[in-house]
A and B are shown apart, each in its own frame.
Chain A
C-alpha cells in the first residue's frame, strides 16, 4: 500500500470529520508525523490503527466519535482496494506493453512462413488471454481451410475453434461471436493479394473480448500480412535470381557457337562482327573452309533475345554440319541452302519463326590471282550489297526466308570479285537503327560507307562506329551484324604461288 497516498486520504477524511456533529477533534499519527484537527484534550473517545504506521484518535461525544471512526475505516478500506486494483492494472498494462514491443520485432527475424505464422498465433493467444488461436486461408478459387493452429499450455477447452472459425468465415460473419456457453471468438482479416487469410482467437470464459483485444488482434493481422508479403517478395526475388542465372548460362552457351575468328584463306579477305540488341540475339554468321572453297552463311532469326538465340544455335549447327559433311563437294550455294532449309524447316514451323539467310561459296581463282568466284543463294536476307567496279547493287532474294515453307529454286547469284570489289552482308538492325528524332540509318548511309577503300576489318569497324554515332542516345532496336568478303590483294610472288598451289 502506498503510505503517502493513504495518509493523504485519511487527512482529508479526518478534516471532513471535524465538522461532523459530536466530533471535537481528530489526530492522525503517521510514523513520527502527527497532524491534529481541533482541541485534542483528555482521553480520546475512540482510536483506530492501520498496521503499525498509522494511528487515528477522535475526541468528542462517544456515539458520533465511534460512527466517525467506522466511516473513516470504511473510507480507508475503499481506498486500499482502489489502490490495489490500480497497481494490478498498471502491472498488466506494463506486461502488455512489453509484449507489444516484442511484437514490433516480429516481422524481421524469420523468412519461414510456417515459423512466422506460428509465432503470430502464440502472440495472439497470449496478448488476448485466449485458449487457442488459428489461421485460416483461402486460395483464389478454393474454400476456407485451416492453415495453422496453436493452443496455450493450460487451456480451459480447445479443439472447437477451428470448425467454428471455418463456419464463420464461410458465412462471412467476422464480428466477435459468442458460440455457445462461454465460448468466445474474435476474428481479424489479414490483408493479402492472391491468398486470403483470417487470424482468429478463441477462449472459454465469462469475460467477453473487449476493444483492446480487438485492436491487438487487428495489429497482429497487419503484422502477419506484412510478414507474408515480405516472405513472398523474398521467394520471388530468389526465383528471379535463379532464372537470371539460368538465362546467363543460356546466353553464354548460345554465344559460344558464334565464331570468334574467321578462317584464313589465301586470296580472300574476311571480316565480320555481330552485336545483339540484348545480351544475346538471333543474328549469326559462319564461314568454313571446305574442298578448296569457303562456304559461308549469314542469317537473322526473326525476333530477339534468348528464343531467337536458341534458334540461331540450331541454324549455325545445321549450316556448319552441311558445309563440312555435304555429300556432294560440287554442291552449289542453292543446294546448300536447300539442305539447311530442310534441316531447319520443321523446327521453325513449329515455333512460328523464320530465318533470313544468305548462303555462299567463295573460291579464289587459281588462274587469276586476286579474283574470287562467288556464288550465293539469298533467302529473304537484307541488306546484301555487291560492290563491283565502284557500283553498289542490292542482291535480291532468291526465295522467302527459311521457315516460311517455300523452297529455294533456281541457280542463285554468281559474280567474280576483283580489285576493290566486295560483298557486304548486313542485317536489318543496321538499317533500322533510330536516332533521337526518329530517323533510321537507312540504306543510303550504308552504301556510302561500303564505298570506302579500307581493309575489311577497318570497314566493319567503321560501319558499327557510324551506326552508333547516328543512333546518338537511342539503343539498338534489333541485333546488328556485318559480314564483309573481298579479294585479298597478292603483295608479292610468294603470295601468288601460295594461291596457285
Chain B
C-alpha cells in the first residue's frame, strides 16, 4: 500500500482535475484505483462518489485511495460515504485509505474521531 501511495503522490501532478471527480479512476498499479474529489465534498457530490466507488469495486480493484489534497470542505454526508466506501472495500477483501487530507478535512476527522477509523497518509 505504501508503494501505491508513493506512486500516487509522484503522479498527482499529472492528474486531470478539470471536474470534481475526473478522472474518476486512475490506475496506478494493477489493482489500485484513486478517486480525487475537489472543492466542497458534500451531499451534492455524494451520489457521484458512491457510483465511482461501486464502479471500482465492480472492476475487481483491491485497493482504493481517496486523494483529499484538493478538498476544502467536507460534511457529514461525505464522511458517511467515506465510511461506507471503506466498509465496502473491506467486504471485498480490499484496502481503503485517505491520502493528503487538507487541514480543514483533518480537523473534521479529528473532532469526529474518524481519524482513528481510516488509514491516512501521510
B57 an interface residue at 8 Å Cβ cutoff? no
Chain B residues 88 to 121 lying within 8 A of chain A, measured CB to CB, are 111-114, 116-117
In the complex, chain A residues whose CB is within 8 Å of the CB of B77: 302-304
- Name A's interface SS: loop
B84 located at the interface, meaning its Cβ lies under 8 Å from any Cβ of chain A in the complex: yes
CA distance A382 to B76 in the complex (A): 11
B43 engages A382 (CB within 8 Å): no
| A400/B113 contact (C-beta < 8 A), A303-B43, A303-B80 known | yes
- Of A114-122, A364-372, A391-399, the one contacting chain B is A391-399
Decide if A404 touches B114 in the complex (CB within 8 Å): yes
A199 to B67, CA, bound (A): 57
Tell whether B83 is near chain A: CB-to-CB under 8 Å: yes
- Interface code A331-356, partner B: CB below 8 Å = 1, 0 otherwise? 00000000000000000010011101
Whether B43 pairs with A404 at a CB distance below 8 angstroms is: no
Q: Mark A368-409, 1 if CB is under 8 A from B, else 0.
A: 000000000001111100000000001011111101111000
Minimum Cβ distance to chain B for residue A439 (Å): 12
Instruction: Tell me the residues in window 41-81 of chain B with beta carbons closer than 8 Å to chain A beta carbons.
Output: 43, 75-77, 79-81
The reply to whether B113 and A304 contact each other, CB–CB distance below 8 Å, is: no
Is A382 touching B112 in the complex (CB atoms < 8 A)? yes
Contact assessment for B75 and A401 in the assembled complex, using a CB-CB cutoff below 8 Å: no
A305's nearest neighbour on chain B, judged by CB, is B43
Contacts of B75 in A (CB 8 A): 428, 432, 477-478
Tell whether A151 is near chain B: CB-to-CB under 8 Å. no
A292 CB to nearest chain B CB (Å):
31
Q: Is the CB of A400 within 8 A of B114?
A: yes
- Distance in Å: Cβ of B46 to nearest Cβ of chain A: 9
**Chain A contacts of B76 at CB under 8 A?**
300, 302-303, 354, 356, 428, 478
Q: Is the CB of B80 within 8 A of A353?
A: yes
Beta-carbon contact of B113 and A399 below 8 Å: yes
Pairwise interchain contact A397-B111, C-beta atoms closer than 8 A: yes
Q: Main secondary structure on chain B at its contact with chain A?
A: helix
Min Cβ gap A377→B in Å is 11
Cβ-defined contact, B111 with A352, below 8 A: no
Bound: A274/B117 CA distance, A: 29
Task: Kindly provide the distance from the CB of A446 to the nearest chain B CB, expressed in whole angstroms.
Answer: 13
Residues of B contacting A303 in the complex (Cβ-Cβ under 8 angstroms): 43, 76-77, 80
The answer, yes or no, to whether B11 is at the interface (CB within 8 Å) is no
Chain B residues closer than 8 Å to A352, beta-carbon distance: 80-81, 83-84, 87
Please report the C-alpha to C-alpha distance between residue A302 and residue B74 in the assembled complex, in whole angstroms.
12
Q: Which residues of B contact A302 (CB under 8 A)?
A: 76-77, 79-80
Task: A383 to B107: give the CA distance in the assembly, Å.
Answer: 12
Tell me which residues across on chain B come within 8 A of A349, comparing CB atoms.
87
Question: A304, A353, A397, A477: which contacts B112 (Cβ < 8 A)?
Answer: A397
| Complex alpha-carbon distance, A263 and B17, angstroms | 53
Q: How far is the CA of A31 from the CA of B80 in the complex (A)?
A: 103
B114:A401 contact, CB within 8 angstroms: yes
State the 10 A-B residue pairs at the shortest beta-carbon distance, nearest first.
A397-B113, A302-B76, A380-B112, A382-B111, A352-B84, A302-B80, A400-B113, A380-B113, A303-B77, A400-B117
B binding-site residues for A, Cβ under 8 Å = 43, 75-77, 79-81, 83-84, 87, 111-114, 116-117
**Interface CB pairs A-B, < 8 A, 19:** A302-B76, A302-B79, A303-B77, A303-B80, A304-B77, A354-B80, A354-B83, A379-B113, A380-B111, A380-B113, A396-B111, A397-B111, A397-B112, A397-B113, A400-B117, A404-B83, A404-B114, A405-B87, A428-B76
